Structure 1
Amino acid sequence: PDEDAVRALMEALSLPDIVCRLLLIRGYVTADEAKQFLRPKLDKLHEPLAFLSMDKAVERLARAVRDKEMVFIHGDYDVDGICSTTILTRVIRLLGGVAMPFIPRRIEDGYDLGDAGVNAAMAAGAKVVVTCDCGTGAVAPVARLCRAGIDVIVTDHHLPSGELPDCLAVLNPKRPGCGYPDKDLAAVAVVWKLSLALARALGANENPVWAMLDLVALATVADVAPLRGENRVFVRYGLRMLKETRNIGMRALLRASGLDGRQLTAGRIGFILAPRLNAAGRMGHAIRGVELLLTSDEHEANVIARELEELNGRRQEIDHLTLERARERVLTMDLDEMFSIVLADDTWHPGVIGIVASRLVEEFGRPTVLIALSGEQGKGSGRSIPKFNLHGALSEAREHLLRFGGHRAAAGVTVAREKVADFAARFNQIAHEHLTAEDLIPEIRVDLEVGIEGLDGRIESLFRHFEPFGIGNPAPVLLARNVVIKRPPRPVGPDGLKIALDTGTGSLEALGWGLASRVAELQEGARVDVAFRLERDDYRGESYLQARIADVRLSPALTA
């Protein structure tokens, strides 16, 4: 970055050189921009009524609450859908209304509002149906509800892949014509905005709605929404509230997952807490997740939390087996020719293929779609690489699909068994049209080159002001060159190494997963260039500074 800009920020903010350089690299040029990023404020959130059709949705729900009409709340079976359903159900009940939560079964009913949801809404005597994290593409089911005299409000954040449902309101920041400024929201944020606007319309106390930001944070992280803009505000404040949550079910889940009393970061939420709640929808019935988050009974909460812990254990076992078999098949492919991976199998569980697709993308660097076949159809989950728009590619291959939906980086498909091969061929053709061979090589984006001797606990604590980290705001990656390994490396776990880096006045512990096979080159006295994230690790009550290795190589001066 420009040296004059660095000095200007250092003077205005009284922050060290390294922090100001990082701010400039991330695009925060002025002192005001930097302050707003480092200290996100709730009062900077946009007004809920900025959503297209929000006024109609609020007016109808307010009438339903006042008249005690049944509001049927139809969610999706992932964490975003579970938390969205929970928030709206709880808010309508707190306001004195009648709400019934419903989530379809993944295998029996399939994704989105469909016959199962329509039939259940009619059987419940619903006057209003609100979809949460689904509905944008459910044109026919919505039409069926409307013909039955039921008002429908869609709340969603998925990219429209065709015409929108013709109903009372479609609240989706990505829909054409919606002027809402922030397009990155998860569905849970859309529902939370609707809930806040509803409370205001009824002149009710807003505090219970604000108190649900813990659920907004959890779902935003779990759905891998970009952690910038409003999402940054939601997650920053929501993580604080999650640590002290009053939600009995959430407390039980934190205890069961071993996070109670520990520092809650976006990483721990995404990799430890969210998978347990997701396990309900993947391996059982997602409504159990809603029941957990709605309960006021401590015993019921503990029972469900233990149930989810067991389901998550089963999910991990099935993940492992599915990944092994999928990898075996990928390794038989000509990866010089295949710019994408499409695999289908009758034995795969539809609840785990999305996770396994993510692992294949990490290992092989190609957009991947895995399909669980059953009968004459298959349900698939896709994951992508940064330079490939998955939703756009599926749109180009739509003639081979029964349906699809999702985002740039993740999507779901339904495909006829007989069309799988045609879809795979067309998908690979599209990948060749949009990608080069270089695009398939994973890159590590380094933010700053630093001297290893200048890193200390103060720098790490200042970096924490950049949290929460995730898509859209990754943890800073630092590069230190020509660093001496001070002691022999020590194996950690099945494939990790711990390395001591010489700082001149001591050492910095560095941990690298997947480095066990390189132990011969990373010996005491070797000079290395290391890309890493600076973090603080808590182990057995002790806290110490640690470098989490992203990549390491022998310094060119040594290898030349």
Structure 2
Amino acid sequence: MRWTLKSKPDSQKVKHLMQVLQIDEVVASLLVQRGIETFEEAKTFFRPHLSDLHDPYLMKDMDKAVMRIEKAIADGENIMVFGDYDVDGTTAVSLVSSYLRSFYPNVATYIPDRYKEGYGVSDAGIDFADDNGITLIVALDCGIKSIDKVEYAKSKGIDFIICDHHRPGDELPDAVAVLDPKRADCNYPYDELCGCGVGFKLVQALSERRGQTITDLVPYLDLVATAIAADIVPITGENRVLATFGLDIINTFPRPGIQALIQNVKKQKLTISDVVFIIAPRINAAGRIYHGNKAVELLTEFNLEQAEEFASQIEGLNTDRKDLDKQITTEALMQIETNNEQERFSTVVYDENWHKGVIGIVASRLIETYYRPTLVFTKSGEKLAASARSVKDFDIYNALEACADYLEQFGGHMYAAGLTLKEEQFAGFKQKFEEVVSTTIAPELLIPEVAVDAEIDFIDITPKFFRILKQFEPFGPGNMTPVFLSRGLRDTGYGKPIGADETHLRLFIKQGEGEGFGAIGFGLASKMNIACGGELFDAVYSIEENEWNGNVTLQLRLRDIRCEE
């Protein structure tokens, strides 16, 4: 693993923050590293406020979208809210549909079948709208490249409003309104919203016309925070505000569907990380294993008893998902070894029997073993479909763009994408993708990196220091949990491997004769000889609270250790 110590920020800016905020140098440096350089910026960072949210009408086409929805309501039209089958899509559909239904009854929802229809706007969805007298479709978390589908809908007298956050192509669909902060001609101040976030901005714009305030929309923010966490978008700017208030709702008064998912979690306060690992996989499991409609049913149900029944069904689907994920990962690793592909620059594996719903998870799992851009293919109808995942700082979307001649369609982000191709194109694509990655990826990007914010001594780790660090939450891309480096450490003789398969490492570490800290390193048992061999070692870690028998202490979450330099 590469340890990359971030460069020290401008000393004058650090000194200024130390003075105006009355904080120590380490905390001031962490803030400047995050682009926070003034008292006002620090105030916005530490005390996010709903008034920090931007005017939704700054988004290109927002006025057109609102006018079209208001016309549909005035004329008694049937509206369909359409969205992707993942967490971002299903939360977006749940948010927009439940808001519209709070004052207008003629609202249907539609989530495409992952297996029969695939990703994005579908002919089947448009046909469903046509069969049911629907004349306006609001598409969420998809649609930015659905040029043909929007034309098909127009031929049936159906209008489209598109709310997306994916990168547009050269041409936009001919919809009534295209809301996407990544549009080249959109001057919206923040372009990192998730699909549910764009849906929220539409609701915010509609609510202003109805005389409501932003406070009236706070109950919907549990959905937005869940989508922000699951879609791995930066938790900066507007997303930080939405995530902060959304987490507060999750922890105080969540909707019955989310309450049902978390009621067995034995934690007083959930973090963004808990949302990622507890709530999101369960919502995702519905679309992966059965149908995304199940997630929308859960998230729009306001009877707790019924929500608990839906949550129980989804829990079963999540168990199935975990079993499939484990099985397919094992098979994929065997395929790499059988084909002697361990030394390639990319991973591209395929089996026609792999479950399409879990191939994205499997791609992420494979990166844990072979750290390189990864695609996992399976059969989908007459074509092959893949989920793509990347490594830090390598743009997999651009790599796929360089292979576009082999592809039927593709879309996504820098780190995650989906694609389809004809079976006869698979071998050529696999060769081309390896060629593109091998010639464009920097060698160091094939080694996992831990980015270190600052070097500190154990004496710096005080309860006050940790209290301030906690105020940096919610953590996520753009505002990651601070990682520290300390040198000259020793285990005090308590080091041992732990866990069912003894792959984790527990230590009690001291630096010099000062206070020591308990430490845990997941997956680090193989480095026990370094920690417990009697020599001094260095460690990179984050700081967290550990609750045991009612006692709360600070512990180190080890990222890596190595012999002292």
TM-score, reference length from structure 1 = 0.95
Alignment of 1:110-509 (within 5 A): 110-204=118-212, 207-256=215-264, 258=265, 262-332=268-338, 338-493=344-499, 494=501, 495-503=503-511, 504-509=513-518
Q: What displacement does 1:521 show?
A: 3.1
Match of 1:85 in 2: 93
Distance 1:216 1:502 in 2: 42
Structure 1, unpaired ranges of 5+: none
CA RMSD after TM alignment: 1.7
User: Are 2:530 and 2:561, in contact at CA under 8 Å, matched by a contact in 1?
Assistant: no
Match of 1:101 in 2: 109
User: Are 1:69 and 1:127, in contact at CA under 8 Å, matched by a contact in 2?
Assistant: yes
Match of 2:3 in 1: none
Distance 1:374 1:22 in 2: 47
SS at match of 1:193: helix
Change (3 A) 1:213 1:375: closer
Q: Which moved more, 1:321-330 or 1:408-417?
A: 321-330
Q: Which moved more, 1:422-431 or 1:77-86?
A: 422-431
SS at match of 1:127: strand
Distance 1:246 1:268 in 2: 15
Distance 2:113 2:412 in 1: 19
In the alignment, is residue 521 of structure 1 matched against residue 530 of structure 2? Answer: yes
User: Are 2:165 and 2:195, in contact at CA under 8 Å, matched by a contact in 1?
Assistant: yes
Q: Deviations over 1:264-302 (max 9, x none)?
A: 111111011110111001111111111111112222101
Distance 2:342 2:359 in 1: 24
The structure with higher relative contact order (CA 8 Å, sep 6+) is 2
Match of 1:545 in 2: 554
Alignment of 1:22-61 (within 5 A): 22-61=30-69
Distance 2:465 2:533 in 1: 27
User: Are 1:452 and 1:483, in contact at CA under 8 Å, matched by a contact in 2?
Assistant: no
SS at match of 1:547: strand
Q: Which letter maps to 2:57?
A: L
User: Are 2:452 and 2:485, in contact at CA under 8 Å, matched by a contact in 1?
Assistant: yes
User: Are 1:232 and 1:468, in contact at CA under 8 Å, matched by a contact in 2?
Assistant: yes
Q: What displacement does 1:41 show?
A: 2.2
TM-score, reference length from structure 2 = 0.94
Structure 2, unpaired ranges of 5+: 1-8
Distance 1:420 1:162 in 2: 26
Change (3 A) 1:206 1:24: closer
Distance 1:240 1:178 in 2: 31
User: Are 1:65 and 1:92, in contact at CA under 8 Å, matched by a contact in 2?
Assistant: no
User: Are 1:182 and 1:230, in contact at CA under 8 Å, matched by a contact in 2?
Assistant: yes
Match of 1:18 in 2: 26
User: Are 1:74 and 1:85, in contact at CA under 8 Å, matched by a contact in 2?
Assistant: yes
Q: Which moved more, 1:67-76 or 1:82-91?
A: 67-76
SS at match of 1:346: coil
Q: What displacement does 1:34 show?
A: 2.4
Of residues 71, 74, 77, the one that matches 1:66 is: 74
Distance 1:517 1:321 in 2: 24
Report the count of equivalent residues.
Answer: 554
Distance 1:132 1:234 in 2: 18
Distance 2:409 2:295 in 1: 27
